[in-house]
Amino acid sequence: MGFLQLEQVSKLYGEFAAVRDFDLEIERGEFISLLGPSGCGKTTTLQMIAGLVTPTNGRITLDGRDITREKPARRGLGVVFQSYALFPHMTVAQNVAFGLEMRKVAKAERDRQVAEILSLVKLTSLADRYPREMSGGQRQRVAIARALVIKPPVLLLDEPLSNLDAKLREEMQFELRRIQRVVGITTIMVTHDQAEALSISDRVVVMEGGKITQVDHPYSLYEHPKNNFISSFVGKSNFLAARAMNEATGVSLRVDNTDLKIPATGSYPGGELCLSVRPEKIRLTDPAGAMLHGPVSSRYFLGNHWLLSVSTPAGEISVAVANLGAPPPSEGDITGLTWNIEECRVLAAEQESALQS
Amino acid sequence: MQKNGPFALAFHTLIVLFVLAPLIVVCLVAFTPQNTLSLPWDGLSLRWFAAVFHHPDFVASFWNSARLALFSATISTMLAVPSALAITRYSFRGRDALNALFLSPLIIPHLVIGVAFLRLFSFIGATGSFGWLVAAHVMVIMPYALRLILAALNGMDLSAEMAARTLGAGEWTVFRRITFPMLLPGISGGWLLAFINSFDELTMSIFVTAPSTVTLPVRMYMYASESIDPMMAAVSTLMIALTGVTMIILDRLFGLDQLLVGKG
Amino acid sequence: MTGAATRTQPRPLAPFLLAAPATLLFVGLILLPLALTAVLSFNVYDYSSGVRNQYTTANYLTVLQDPYYLAIFWRTLRLALLTTVIAVLLGTPEAYILTRMGKPWRSIFLLVIIGPLLVSVVVRTFGWSMLLGRDGLVNHALAVLGLEPVQLLYTETAIVIALVHIMLPFMVIPVWTALQKLDPTVEAAALSLGASRFTALRRVVFPQATLGILSGSLIVFGLSASAFAIPGLLGGRRLKMAATVVYDEYLIELNWPLGAAIAIIVLLANLAIMLAYNRMVERQAKRRLG
Ligand SMILES: Nc1ncnc2c1ncn2[C@@H]1O[C@H](COP(=O)(O)OP(=O)(O)O)[C@@H](O)[C@H]1O
Ligand SMILES: [Mg+2]
């Protein structure tokens, strides 16, 4: 039994299901990300946990206690809002002290705890500033401090980094993880940025259209996406139409007119299949004897790697080539493509259409 | 930003002159040493201001108006805040009708409201009562306060309230500690606008004031329709000055253009 | 209104409790007195015994047939219309000029134009009576130019001048608001596509302003038609308008039922115009969308 548990939780707005049959078990101290495109129900899920939205169906338990219908004030969870939701008429210290005041903590103790948490988020010197006098990154830290100071059992973060610029976002990402480790708090973070989710979470929950599509550790999620949607949303991927043919040796997939031997990892139904290969798994080789070949149609230099697009009989294929000094073939050059056969995923083609409906 | 041509600027100058002329003339005439309405060609004098302060009727009316505006602005703001909360924070049947009812005094001519109150007051025997005069003013100035508070509520970030709830605050605490302070600029602006509208109100008041409750605008109207002397100009100048000060306060607080033109 | 949906628990009673005090007051102190006045306007009145407990339509018939009252209604309508037209002709270009002004001037002049709204009507009217009087500044100026003095005070001209003065902000504000929504580059785009200044104004700016002009006109017409202080102070004994005649009936003639009948007619006319306007706005909004 998990520390925080959601069972069959749904939220309907009229006929429309913002969240449907959400099942998740979270261990104490875990860092979980809810990942999905805008409008897929991440905020709704988070707010149901916080108590700001009442679920239509289902049950939420925290440490064995049913909190499904409990008021947000009584749950005592720490919530960081996307807009930070700082109280504009209070200083940083007053903002952070608010939750302690509500818990009737004595003034001296309150001041001590506020000072402690402000030093954790490195804001000690700004305690008397008002929110409007601070930068986005600093406001973000205040919001985190305010949520943490009440020692909540769970910290809920709604797109905490989306209002920061790119450089700051990367910095805060690791800062967030550091703080979470120091405090050891169970954390759920909502994000639509896959890089963010992969880099700092213990587990990632991928959502689409109000439903969970996959729950996994970042590495397995990246390497073993369950469907096209995930493999394209989490990182980039090439999709190749393919057909299964049962043979004694295993499974072979026919891409265009070339037969590609794939080790048997299960039985594939005859019919349309889909092969997914990540751009960084593909190597450039001599056209002769390559799995696929064709002319380079575009080439971009991205600093630490090159991004090539190659026109093959199986379609346009993206290839990421590490920048090891020598420039790769230029536009128009014919190149061959190859990859380790274990590095590609085989997905049923119907899955894609099933997901899109 | 395109430039205005010379023709446009000339037009604009004339309009500004037209708008300011009567106010400027009033202020100038107030300083005349003469007994007649004349510009102070030969020296300035404060005698007419002194005359105002020694005129018991004007002094009494000023205090009547000030008390009346103070009470009615405060009461109408206290009514407007919960009403605005009901209208913006909840969806319920009849919400639009309620909104229309509250804003209706803006489209009912004050003349009609005045006549209606006169009827009510004579019906219930409230003629000459200061309390009922306050009630009448509350009705016509509440829409001004309400509009501003509605705009403030609609522009408010709701997540601050949600944050307070997750931190353990109950509904009343959320209102007292979060919503109210965040609304305070809108509320004080609404109060000031209500105050000024009450202080200036003539058309309704002239029907419902009794000799003991005559307000300053009513007193001025009656005085001006009988005799015209520079004392009227002096009173007017004082009112213009008072309005000017209020305008500056409002402008500092919100930007007056936002307030009068804004989303209202 | 996302707030309503994100409430923790729907409490259907709360909004009614919050709005109850104001609602009770508005019903008791706006709707009830209006109803009492409507009833009063059907009461029989005679000069010896005052208001009697009998009902009649005579008050309305008198008001709508007696040439004295008809003349007053006609004047009210005419002057309000004239004021509206002049306010449109002055207010629309002024609002447009204001939108084209540079940074500090725009706010300063906007304040100059709309600030007088906060100055009591009595004060502003009194200012005009000093300017337009027999011995006023306008006649002084004429004398300096060697011209004959003119009688302005206690004429319809004086009333219209002062009404336009009071109403100008009510016209500038909605037009300004409407023009604010106009992307300044749109006009520039029209000019760059070869439209003349005038065509750009007529085809691009003016359509945007029409809704503002319409709502401004409505406010100006309604307020002018029920204006009290201006005809009272600048019209003298002779030139009555609707509001001043109601005042006379109530406080001088003491014929309340007749005064009530006129007031009710003013109210109904006002509401009819508002309704017509709402229809018009809705139709225009539909056209824009469709
Ligand atoms: N109060 C509400 N009323 C109706 N629909 C809502 C409400 N809140 C959210 N939704 C809908 O529910 C879906 C999920 O919203 P949300 O959880 O905010 O998505 P996300 O945070 O993943 O972008 C959206 O389609 C949104 O329009
Ligand atoms: Mg969201």
Per DSSP, C205 falls in state I
Indicate whether A230 belongs to any domain. no
**Confidence bin at C3 (pLDDT 50/70/90):** very low
CB C73 within 8 A of CB B151: no
Answer yes or no: is A201 within a domain: yes
Query: Does the pLDDT at position B219 exceed 90?
Result: yes
Q: Do A218 and A244 belong to one domain?
A: no
Q: Which residues of C touch B27 (CB under 8 A)?
A: none
**Confidence check: pLDDT of A315 > 90:** no
Query: Ligand 1 pocket, A38 CB below 6 A?
Result: yes
Does residue A42 have its Cβ closer than 6 Å to ligand 1? Answer: yes
If pLDDT is split at 50, 70 and 90, which confidence band does B259 have? Answer: low
Query: Following DSSP, what letter does each residue of A174-200 receive, concatenated?
Result: HHHHHHHHHHT-EEEEEES-HHHHHHH
DSSP assignment letter at A243: E
Contact, B235 vs B220, CB < 8 A? yes
* % of residues, chain A, pLDDT over 70: 89
Tell me: pLDDT of B133 over 80: yes
**Do A135 and A37 share a domain, yes or no?**
yes
| Beta bridge pairs of residue A240 | A275
The beta strand positions in A50-146, using DSSP E, are 57-62, 65-66, 78-80
The CATH number of whichever domain residue C98 belongs to comes to 1.10.3720.10
Tell me how crowded residue A30 is: count the other CB atoms within 10 A of its CB.
Answer: 19
In a domain, C235, yes or no: yes
Domain that holds residue A274: 236-348
Instruction: Tell me the three-class secondary structure of A293-317, residue by residue.
Output: EEEEEEEEECCCEEEEEEEECCEEE
Question: If pLDDT is split at 50, 70 and 90, which confidence band does A298 have?
Answer: confident
Q: What is the pLDDT of residue B40?
A: 76
Q: What kind of architecture, by CATH, is found in domain B56-226?
A: Orthogonal Bundle (1.10)
Give per-residue pLDDT as tens, B70-127. 999 999 999 999 999 999 988 888 888 998 889 888 889 999 999 999 999 998 988 8
Question: In this complex, which chains have at least 3 CB pairs below 8 Å with chain B?
Answer: A, C
Reported as type and span, the H/E element at residue C163 is helix C156-180
Q: How far is the CA of A39 from the centre of ligand 1 (A)?
A: 6
**Pair C1, B68: CB distance under 8 Å:** no
Q: Find all residues with CB under 8 Å of A280, minimum gap 6, and list them.
A: A305, A320, A322
Q: Are residues A200 and A269 in the same domain?
A: no
CB-CB under 8 Å, C18 with B83: yes
Final residue in a domain of this structure, among A173, A193, A225: A225
- Across chain A, mean pLDDT equals 86
Asked if B165's CB is within 8 angstroms of A71's CB, the reply is yes
Whether A192 and A246 map to the same domain: the answer is: no
User: Does any domain span residue A354?
Assistant: no
d(CA B151, CA A101): 31
pLDDT in tens, A221-265: 888 877 777 777 777 788 877 776 665 455 566 666 666 666 555
Q: Which atom of ligand 1 is nearest to the CA of A44?
A: 17
**Considering chain C, what is the average pLDDT of its residues?**
86
Residues B144 and B193 sit within 8 Å (Cβ to Cβ): yes
Residues B176-186: what's their mean pLDDT? 92
Please indicate if any CB of chain C lies within 8 Å of the CB of B108: yes
Q: Residue A218 carries which side chain, given as an amino acid letter?
A: P
A80 pLDDT more than 90:
yes
Q: Is B35 on the interface with C (CB under 8 A)?
A: no
Whether A181 and A325 map to the same domain: the answer is: no
Q: Where are the domains of chain B?
A: 22-54+231-252, 56-226
How far apart CA C283 and CA C275 sit, in angstroms, is 12
Distance CA A328, CA A285 (A): 11
More confidently predicted of A266 and C75: C75
Cβ-contact B156, C3 below 8 angstroms: no
Residue A356 falls within a domain, yes or no? no
Average pLDDT over residues A301-306: 84
ipTM: 0.89
Give, in degrees to the nearest 5, the angle at Cα A266 between A265 and A271: 115
For helices C256-289 and C32-40, the axis angle rounded to 10 degrees is: 120
Stretch C37-45: mean pLDDT, rounded?
93
Contact status of A13 with chain C (Cβ, < 8 Å): yes
Decide if C195 touches B, using CB distance below 8 A.
Answer: no
Q: Which residue has the tokens 């002004």?
A: C101
DSSP letter assigned to residue B2: P
Give pLDDT tens digits for B24-39.
999 999 998 888 777 7
Nearest-CA neighbor of C29 among B116, B127, B194? B116
Cβ contact C5–A13 (<8 Å): yes
- Characterize A162-199 residue by residue with b for buried, 16 or more Cβ atoms within 10 angstroms of its Cβ, and e for exposed: eebeeebbeebbebbbebbeebebbbbbbbbebebbbe
Give the domain CATH number at A13. 3.40.50.300
Tell me which of A200, A225, A250 is where a domain ends. A225
Q: Which pLDDT belongs to residue A339?
A: 84
- HSE-CB at C140 with a 13 A cutoff on CA atoms is 10
Q: Which residues of B touch A82 (CB under 8 A)?
A: 159
Residue A357 lies in a domain: no
Contact between chains at B90 and C14 (C-beta distance less than 8 A): yes
Say if strands A292-301 and A334-338 run parallel, antiparallel, or are unpaired.
Answer: antiparallel
CB contact under 8 A, C8 and A51: yes
Is C173 inside any structural domain? yes
Instruction: Mark which of A197, A225, A253 sits at the end of a domain.
Output: A225
The answer as to whether C222 is a domain residue is yes
pLDDT of amino acid A256 = 61
The number of domains in chain A is 2
Do residues A217 and A336 share a domain?
no
B125 conformational bin, left if phi > 0, alpha if psi -120 to 50, beta if neither? left
Cβ of A357 closer than 6 Å to ligand 1, yes or no, is no
- Would you state the structure tokens that stand for residue C13, as one six-digit string? 């009673």
Q: Is the pLDDT of residue A9 over 70?
A: yes
From atom 10 of ligand 1, which residue's Cα is the shortest distance away?
A18
Q: Are residues A73 and A191 in the same domain?
A: yes
Q: Edge to edge, what strands does the sheet with A154-158 contain? A: A78-80, A154-158, A186-191, A31-35, A203-208, A211-216
**Does A348 or C181 have the greater pLDDT score?**
C181
| CB distance A226 to A213 below 8 Å | yes
CA distance B83 to A331: 68
Residue A257 covered by a domain: yes
User: What is the percent of chain B with per-residue pLDDT over 70, rounded to a whole number?
Assistant: 95
- Tell me the per-residue pLDDT of C87-130, one tens digit each, with 9 for 90 and over: 999 999 999 999 888 878 888 898 889 888 889 999 999 999 98
Domain span holding position C195: 58-114+169-289
Question: Is C4 a residue whose pLDDT tops 50?
Answer: no
Tell me which residue in B25, B113, B239 faces C130 most closely, judged by beta carbons.
B25
Question: Which residues have C-beta within 8 Å of that of residue A90, sequence separation ≥ 6?
Answer: A98, A130
Please report which confidence band the pLDDT of residue C1 belongs to, taking 50, 70 and 90 as the band edges: very low
Instruction: Report the Cα A91 to chain-centroid distance in Å.
Output: 33
Predicted confidence (pLDDT) per residue in A162-200, tens digit: 888 878 888 888 888 998 988 899 999 999 888 888 888
Question: Scanning every residue of chain A, which has its alpha carbon at the shortest distance from the alpha carbon of C5?
Answer: A53
Contacts of B17 (CB under 8 A, 6+ apart): none
What is A12-74 written as a DSSP string?
A: EETTEEEEEEEEEEE-TT-EEEEE--TTSSHHHHHHHHHTSS--SEEEEEETTEE-TT--HHH
Under the banding of pLDDT at 50, 70 and 90, the label for residue B258 is low
Residue C78: pLDDT above 60? yes
> What is the domain count for chain C?
1
From residue A25, alpha-carbon distances to A7, A215, B189 in Å are: 8, 10, 51
